[in-house]
Structure 1
Amino acid sequence: MPFLIFALTYPLIWVFSRLPMRILYIKSDVFFFLIFYVLRYRKKIVYDNISLAFPEKSSEEKKKILRLFFKHFTDLFMESVKAFSISEKEILKRYKYKNPELINDLVKQGKSIALVGAHQANWEWSISLPLALEGSIYGAYTKLGNKYFEKAVRDSREKFGVLGYKTSETVKGMQKNFSEKIQGLYILLSDQSPQLHKTHYWTEFFGVKVPIHTGAEMLAKKFDLVVVNYVTTKVKRGFYETEFQLVVENPRDYKEYEITDKYLALTEENVKKQPELYLWTHKRFKHRNKFEEWQKMKVAKPKTKS
C-alpha cells in the first residue's frame, strides 16, 4: 500500500514541479481562494496568533497580515513542490545569500557552526546553502511513515549537498563528528513550541510567556558551535534573500538560556519586519496559560537514580 500511494501521487508532484514558476503561481492563486475563502483553513488560529503577537495593531491591520500570510502560504506550498526539480541555476537566481563571507570566514578559522533560524519566508529553498557556503552542511529531517516518500524528499533536500540526519540521530551524528574533529554546519530551526514534559525554560516571545526550545543552545555549548542566525526576506514574489547574523561566537562564555534569549530577540525583530512571512499556522502560543501546570509537573516528576 505505501508503494501504491507513492506510485500514484509522486508522478503528479514531479509533473507539477516541472511547471514554470509563473504557472505555479497561477495555481497558487486558485489554492489561496479555496483555502482562504472556502475551506478557511486555520484562519482562526492564524488570526489569534497575530492578535497575540501584535495586540497594538488594529483589526484591519491584523486582517491585512492574515490575508497576506495566506497568499504567501500557498506560494510557499508551490515553491516547496518546485524544490523537487529546481535547477542550480534557477535557485541561485531566486534565492540569494547576502553575506556568505561571515560563515565562510568562520569555517576557514576551523569553527563548526549552529545555523539557527525560524520558519519564516521560504526555508525549503535553503537546500541551496552548500552552493554559497564552504564546509559540510547537515540538516535534520523528520522520518516519514511512507519510506518511498521519505527517500524522495531526502533526495530532493540533499541534491545540492546538504547531508541529512534523522532528527532522532542528530545528536549522535554531531557527537561522532566532534569526536573525530570533523567540522560541520548544522541547520537547526528553533521556533516551534516544545511539549510540556520536554520543556526546560519559559520566557516571553512577543510579550507572551511560553515554553521555549533550548536544544540549539545546549548543542552549541556541548560541541562548542558558533551560533549564527539566518533570516530570509522576500524581495518579491518568487525571489528571496538570506542574511546571516552572528549570535555568539563563544557559546560556553554565556549563562544558561542567554543564547536562547538572544536568538528569540533576533527572531522577534525579524518577524516584525515582514510579519506575513512567519509560519503562523502552528500553535506557537498554545501553552501560554500552562506555566503553573508545568511547574506542578516538574515538582511531581520523580527523580531518576544516578
Structure 2
Amino acid sequence: MNYLNLIRWKNLLMIAIVQLLIKYALLEPFGVQTSLDTLGITLLILATICIAAAGNIINDIFDVETDSVNKPDKLIVGKSISEKTAYNLFIIFNVIGVGIGFYLSHLVDRNAFFSLFVIISVLLYVYASYLKQTLLIGNIVISVLVALTLIIVGVFELLPSTTSINQQTQLTFFKIIFDYAVFAFIINLLREMTKDLEDINGDHKTGMNTLPIAIGSERATKVVFALSFIPLFVVGQYVVNSLYKNQITVLYFLIFIIAPLLYISIKLFSASTKKDFHHISNVLKFVMLFGMLSLLLYKFTLL
C-alpha cells in the first residue's frame, strides 16, 4: 500500500478515467475520426500515468523535510520506502512512460509528438526540485501539466486524423477538450494555492517562497477567495449559454459543480486554520472529479 500511496494511485486513476471518457464518452459516440484504437489509447494512458507517477515520486523525495512538518503521519520516503528505492522507481516509471510515448508517436506517424512526453517529464522534475519553491510559478506550471493530461488525448486522437474534409469537426471537438483542460487548470491552481495555505508552516521552515509566505496567510486567503469566483462565473455562463435546454445536465452542474464552488467561496471567506484549508482542498478535488465526469452527459448537450 505504501508504494501505491507513493505514486498517488487515486490521482493516477482520475487521469486514466478522464482520458477514457474523452475517448469513449466524447469522441466515439459522435463518430469523430480518431487515430488510436483500444490498444493505442491504453498505451497513451499508461504512458501518462507512468510519467505522472514518476513526478509524484520525485516530488515526495524533495519534500521529505517539508512533509515531516506538514504531514509526518503520511511521510513515505525515508520512512516506509528508502530514498534510493524511490529514486529507482522514479527512473523506471520515467523510462517506461517516455518509451511508450516514443512508440505512440511513431504509431500515429507524428515523431514530433514524442517531445511532449520529454517536456512533461522534465518539467515535473524541475517543478519538484526548483519551481515549487518559487512564488506562483510552481502552482501555474503544475496546473498546466494537469491540463496537458487532457489535451494530449486530443493531440494524439484528433490531429493525425485531421483532413481538409473533417477539419471543422476535429477543431470543434479539440476545442471542447481544451475547454475541459482550462477548467482543470483553474480548479487545480486554486487547489495548489489552498494547499500552500495548508502547508505554510513546513514550507516556511524549508525556505519556500509561496504566496502565503510572501504576503501573509490572511492576504493570500483573500486572493484565493477572489480567484474562486472565476470558475463559478465561467461554469455559470456555460450552463446558461449552452446547457439550458437539457434539464438533467443543468441539474447535474448545479448540484455537483456550481453548488460546491459556491460552498468553497463561502468557506474561503472565513478560513484560517490548517483543517479549513485541507477541507477546501478536498472539496476542490471533488469538483474536479465531477467536472470531468460531466463528459458522460455531453451527448445530451449536443442533441
TM-score by length of 1: 0.28
More strand by share: 1
TM-score by length of 2: 0.28
More helix by share: 2
